[in-house]
Amino acid sequence: MYRIIQFIRYKIPFIWTAIDFGNNQVFRLRYGRKMKLLPELIDRFNSGEIVYSLAADSDVEDLTSFFSSQPKSAFEFFKPHDFDRISLRALINQESFIMTIARTDDQVVGYAFLRCFANGKSFRGKIVDVKYRGKGIAKTFGKLTMEIAQTLGIGLFGTISKKNISSLESSKSSNTIKVIKELPNDYILIRYFPKA
């Protein structure tokens, strides 16, 4: 199933766009009421200098600057979507794509997302500014995205390269993980569970 989805997404993009549109409509119908709980949930993670929130249209410029300021090496294992203004604005306005950001001193220092599907599954990704790594932001994103998934009542999954040791360790520090299957190119499909 994973290979089929990736093939459609990258080789037949117009079909992927139609599927994405349909998924978003059904997701809104199934989970729209629970989505209203997310701002208050995210606000509970705010303490100290790092502030977490859902991304909004007003964050597009700052997000674009955040992505463009990261070194090329930061994207070796992180390529979930395009990072230009048009792509980011489209994703922000898609209810089945939940974007969260971390800010300090009024600048974006971290980003996490859940790409959600109407069948009750979601896939997570996260990236932290290289200058702010080691401050617990990725770990907080791990807990935050887990709580979002639990609040919505959906499963939380991810794909991680076995070469991306820091991401694997970060995932283990914030969640219990279960390897579901081996994927091509040294990737693994995992499912996240709340830390016991």
Q: DSSP assignment of 3-39, as one string? A: HHHHHHHHH-HHHHHHHHHHHHHHHHHHHHHHHTTHH
Q: What angle do CA 187, 15, 56 make, to 5 degrees?
A: 75
Nearest one of 158, 167, 149 to 188, comparing CA atoms:
158
Q: 70-85: per-residue pLDDT in tens? A: 999 999 999 989 899 9
- Per-chain mean pLDDT for the chain: 92
pLDDT in tens, 42-76: 999 997 889 999 999 999 999 999 999 999 999 99
7 to each of 16, 179, 180, 181, how far by Cα in Å?
9, 22, 20, 18
Q: What is the pTM of this model?
A: 0.90
